[in-house]
Amino acid sequence: MNAREWLAEEADAPDLVLLGAPISKASITPVESWSTPPAFRDALRRFPTWDAEHSIDVAALHVRDAGDVQGDQHDPDAAAAHDRIQAAVETAARAATHVVVVGGDNSLTRPALRGLMSAVPAAWSLLTLDAHHDCRPATSGSRNGTPVRELIEAGLPGERVAQIGIHPLGNAQEHADWARAQGVHIVPLHAVRRDGIDAVVAAALSLLVGRGAEHIYVDFDIDVIDRAFAPACPASLPGGMHPDQLLRAAYLLGADPHVAAADLCEVDANTDINGMTVRLMAATFLTFSSGIASRAGSRREG
């Protein structure tokens, strides 16, 4: 069985629900990231469900593909699609312990996390793998550069936000200063290189849990990856993280019992080169799922 066939399982009682969010209107750079969810599903055909490194068959997890939320291509802006994403994620979170949203641009993170917060009232926390803080003020609406700021301004405590992979040339100083002033745990790229991905992920998780996090949402913004490996991300930069570091982080995060949901975003499949970026996105999802499947008691029999 390949991973695309696994995704088509349509489990009645899923461990994981996957949802596509084909949006692009909130992107600061004009993109066609609405094209990515179908390309992502297609890329899963290239992978088996067997994770040999961890001796885990991802197919042990029961999955339901809830399809794509209606996107924003025919809307003046992303606002209505954001509402649809929030409602669909809320429904998904009532059906399964784990929800993964495949974008679409990074503006989806705000409605997706808000949908989870509505379905599962708890102390939520946000961990991003992203070159950017996404702490721009939403003065011209909800964009792909604003979700972290909007979530914090709406009540998510800044000290329960961690950002791994912040690029030295990816952000305006005022946005970095704003994030720091909110108590956000910032792990720049040089710290990932110096300490290693295992150490920085473990430290971020223990810090968030120590600050009261009950459930953690992971935002995999693929532009955290070096542009040489992520050409389809409009905002990826040279000098970013390498795919092996992202995949290792995905496994460790999936394996952590506090991690309940994730998104994968900021890929424009229409600008990809030889499937490089979309396949990395698919591998990240599978490795994250492998981490979930590794948890004791999370795998169902049959």
- Interacting residues with Mn ion (CB under 5 A): 106, 130, 132, 134, 221
- As measured in angstroms, the least distance from the Cβ of 13 to Mn ion is 33
- As measured in angstroms, the least distance from the Cβ of 25 to Mn ion is 16
Spatial distance between the Cα atoms of 302 and 299, rounded to a whole number of angstroms: 9
From residue 117, alpha-carbon distances to 122, 192, 221, 258, 294 in Å are: 7, 30, 20, 14, 25
Residue 50's Cβ-side half-sphere holds a number of Cα atoms within 13 Å equal to 3
Spatial distance between the Cα atoms of 194 and 140, rounded to a whole number of angstroms: 37
Nearer to Mn ion, 132 or 160 (CB): 132
Paired with 127 in beta bridges are: 162, 218
- As measured in angstroms, the least distance from the Cβ of 227 to Mn ion is 14
From residue 85, alpha-carbon distances to 22, 210, 291 in Å are: 10, 30, 25
Nearer to Mn ion, 64 or 132 (CB): 132
- As measured in angstroms, the least distance from the Cβ of 266 to Mn ion is 6
Nearer to Mn ion, 65 or 134 (CB): 134
- As measured in angstroms, the least distance from the Cβ of 109 to Mn ion is 8
Concatenating the DSSP letter of every residue in 159-227 gives: GGEEEEEE-TTSS-HHHHHHHHHTT-EEEEHHHHHHH-HHHHHHHHHHHHHHTT-SEEEEEEEGGGB-T
Nearer to Mn ion, 18 or 224 (CB): 224
